[in-house]
Chain A
Amino acid sequence: MVRNKRFWITLFILPCMALFAFIYAAPIITVIVTSFTKYTAFETPSFIGLSNFKTIFSDNDFLISIKNTVIWVLLQSSFHVGLGLAVALTMRRRPKGWKLLRTAYLIPNIVPTAATGVMFTLLFNPSFGVVSDLYTRLGISSPVPNLFGNSGYAFWIVTATWIFYSAFNTIIFLSEINAIDRQIYEAASIDGATPWQMDLYITLPLLKNVIGTCVVLASVAMVSQFDIIYVTTKGGPGTATLNLPIYLYKTAMLENNYGKANAVGVIQIILGISLVLLIRWLFRTRDKINGDGSGLL
């Protein structure tokens, strides 16, 4: 019986772990090892120590890509999560039309991000987009700006394509708010608390944990944000919208410099993990990370 059981356990775990090892474990080891080598599409890896890291840290484009990534993480974990929370608090008392709003708000989060990128490119096209029409209607005679192609605007226009669409956070907040005991609100309202005070002193403190979760998810998403930037600006014009994933993609696929790309990958992994740990620490509560990894995200 015991031997039989061991056989079944192995059989149940093996397929999953084999796939996991093939797609995750082997590539991660390769990334870390080859980041210390000279390795391109045309030559096999040869050890060169920290040279790749020295190269990227003396490359201004790389430093800009880190800077943009960090700005996007900060914006996403403050404004984006905050907006999702504001919408959830607005819907908390179920005003008329809240279900319709919830569905409508989720739609831009559900369509492929590449589609969002294409739609915004069309929307802000300088010759047939809405900006040129508005200029005509308002009688502005100055040339219509190419919002995605102008280094002064591009960063903010790219940010605008995702920062408002926070419905996933709203959904998570709403479900947590629904789990709060109604009696707390009843007691507060007997004590004469205004709705605003109830949100500030009851809802928000009870949401601390889940706000932390949403900030982690938003930050991790920004460390690997790629789709919309690639579709709309490819990191340009110049380096206006360059971030780590775009820099990594260009290094691997256009420069074909695999060693350097994997050094960027190592930095991306370190940045991602330190952000998660930092945010977890900022939002720390008494409960520890459990053995099954469930307090981790």
Chain B
Amino acid sequence: MKRITLLCSKYFFMLVILFLSLAPIFWVLMSSFKTYSEINSSALSLPSSLSLNNYAAALKYAPIQKYFLNSIVIVGAGIIVTVIFVAMCAYAVSRFRFLFKPVIILLIAASLMLPAQSISQPLFSIFTSLRIFDTKLGLILVYSAMGIPMSFFVMLSYYRSIPFALEESAYIDGAGFFRTFFSVILPLAKPGLATVAMIQFINIWNEFYFALMLTSGDTARTIPIALNYYMSTFANNYSALFAAVIMTITPTIIFFIIMQKQVIDSLTSGAVKG
């Protein structure tokens, strides 16, 4: 009897978690098919038909494709720059002794704890004077740099798991520094690089603060900022707002479900190694 109560309470708890996770999204999805008057008359009723009118209206007023393209360019470039820079820097730090090595490690470790907003005002001023305010380049620079601390430590511990003997034999075979890195170490470090890329994706695909502070128009507006602006764009047409939100979050959810295993792996290794 006690076991059954325990089992029931366990499943009840699981159902509550399931409800909290999916109910808000499901409600927005359901409402996105409703007409304006249906939304106003009752929030919890089902839509009378699966009409796509709201979706058409949303696409008419907000350039959702453009926001996606911006996000893909900015996030893609941010990932590539971080992966290349960190792959090189962490390799040199993990394998060789040199003068400023402890300083580099200490600085990057300290920046792991830095609340990023605290440095936003100088960035805003620097970007304005360099004329990269409200450009994709500006956000790419910020996001690539923000990815360095966590990625650096993930790569550092990954390189340390690769035995030195491999490089020694490469050197004996006459390969130079770059050749050894590129053809021996890098192929072995691929899983580490994939982890770094995934952590970077999760962090900057959703980044809001710097995108808000460093953009002002549609040229570099990313998905999270677009979502914020929908509130005013669709202030008088909230049936379309529901559709716009669904269109904006669906690709992320689909991507996540496909890549779930990689996402889970990188989240755990990011926390444990970082």
Using a CB–CB cutoff of 8 Å, the interface residues on chain A facing chain B are 4-6, 8-9, 12-13, 15-17, 19-20, 22-28, 30-31, 34, 86-87, 90, 95, 97-98, 101, 103-108, 110-123, 125, 127-130, 132-134, 136-137, 164-165, 167-168, 171-172, 175-176, 210, 213-214, 217, 220, 223-224, 226-227, 230-231, 244-245, 248-249, 252-253, 258, 261-262, 264-266, 268-269, 271-273, 276, 291-294, 296-297
Tell whether, in the assembled complex, residue A272 and residue B272 are in contact, meaning their CB atoms are under 8 Å apart.
no
**Could you say which of B24, B28, B44, B212 has the most chain A C-beta atoms within 10 Å of its C-beta?**
B24
B111 neighbours in A (Cβ, 8 Å): 20, 24
Q: How far is the CA of A125 from the CA of B93 in the complex (A)?
A: 53
> Which residues of the partner chain B approach A167 to less than 8 Å between Cβ atoms?
21
Q: A111-B253, A258-B125 are in contact. Are A101 and B17 (CB under 8 A)?
A: yes
Alpha-carbon gap, A6 to B24, bound state (A): 57
Nearest A residue (CB) for B144? A19
Chain B residues within 8 Å of A262, by CB: 118, 121-122
- Chain B residues near A266: list those with CB within 8 A: 118
Q: List 10 A-B contacts (CB under 8 A).
A: A12-B181, A98-B14, A107-B25, A118-B245, A224-B117, A230-B228, A248-B117, A248-B118, A268-B115, A292-B109
- A8-B24 in contact (CB<8A): no
Give CA–CA (A23, B120) in the complex, Å: 10
Name which of B55-63, B162-170, B187-195, B263-271 contacts chain A. B263-271
| Residue contact A296 to B109, C-beta cutoff 8 Å | yes
Contacts of B268 in A (CB 8 A): 171-172, 175
User: How many Å from the CB of A80 to the closest CB on chain B?
Assistant: 13
Chain A hits for B253, CB < 8 A: 107, 110-111
Q: Which of A105, A128, A217 has the most CB of B within 10 A?
A: A128
In angstroms, Cα B154 to Cα A292, docked, is 11
Tell me how far the C-beta of B20 lies from the nearest C-beta in chain A, rounded to whole angstroms: 5
Q: Which A residues are CB-close (under 8 A) to B141?
A: 19, 22-23
Task: Mark out the residues of chain B between 1 and 33 whose CB falls within 8 Å of any chain A CB in the assembled complex.
Answer: 10-11, 13-14, 17-18, 20-22, 24-25, 27-28, 31
Task: List 7 additional A-B contacts (Cβ < 8 Å) besides A23-B123, A108-B25.
Answer: A12-B181, A15-B85, A105-B21, A113-B206, A118-B241, A119-B28, A249-B209
Whether A133 lies near B40 (C-beta < 8 A) is: no
- The digit string for B226-255, where 1 denotes a CB below 8 A from any CB of A, is 011011000000100110010011001100
Q: Are B123 and A12 in contact (CB under 8 A)?
A: no
Tell me which residues across on chain A come within 8 A of B133, comparing CB atoms: none
CB closest residue in chain A, given B14: A101
- Given A8-B177, A19-B141, A210 and B272 touching (CB < 8 A)? yes
Q: Are A15 and B28 in contact, with the CB atoms below 8 A? A: no
Nearest-CB residue, chain A, relative to B156:
A292
Asked if A90 and B245 make an inter-chain contact with CB atoms under 8 angstroms apart, the answer reads no
Per the bound structure, the CA–CA distance linking A258 and B125 in Å amounts to: 10
Is B148 positioned at the interface, with any CB of A under 8 Å from its CB?
Answer: yes
Query: What is the distance, in angstroms, from B214's C-beta to the closest C-beta of chain A?
Result: 11
Q: Cβ of A116: which chain B residues have Cβ within 8 Å of it? A: 24
Where chain B touches its partner, the secondary structure class is helix
Inter-chain CA distance A128–B38, complex, in Å, is 10
Chain B contact residues, CB within 8 Å of chain A? 10-11, 13-14, 17-18, 20-22, 24-25, 27-28, 31, 39-40, 42-44, 81, 84-86, 88-89, 91-93, 96, 98, 102, 104-109, 111-126, 141-142, 144-146, 148, 152-153, 156-157, 176-178, 181, 202, 205-206, 208-209, 212-213, 223-225, 227-228, 230-231, 238, 241-242, 245, 248-249, 252-253, 256-257, 260, 263-264, 267-268, 271-274
Distance from B265 Cβ to chain A, minimum over Cβ atoms (Å):
9
**B14:A95 contact, CB within 8 angstroms:** yes
Which residues from chain B contact A15 at a C-beta distance below 8 Å?
A: 84-85, 88-89
Q: Are A23 and B146 in contact (CB under 8 A)?
A: yes
Contacts of A112 in B (CB 8 A): 205-206, 208, 223-224, 227, 248-249, 252
With known contacts A104-B22, A110-B253, A133-B42, A265–B119 Cβ distance under 8 A: yes
Q: What is the minimal beta-carbon distance from B272 to any residue of chain A, in angstroms? A: 7
> Are A111 and B88 also in contact (CB < 8 A) when A5-B177, A31-B118, A128-B40 are?
no
A17 touching B104 by the CB < 8 A rule? yes
Using known A-B contacts A12-B88, A16-B148, determine if residue A164 contacts B20 with beta carbons closer than 8 Å. Answer: yes
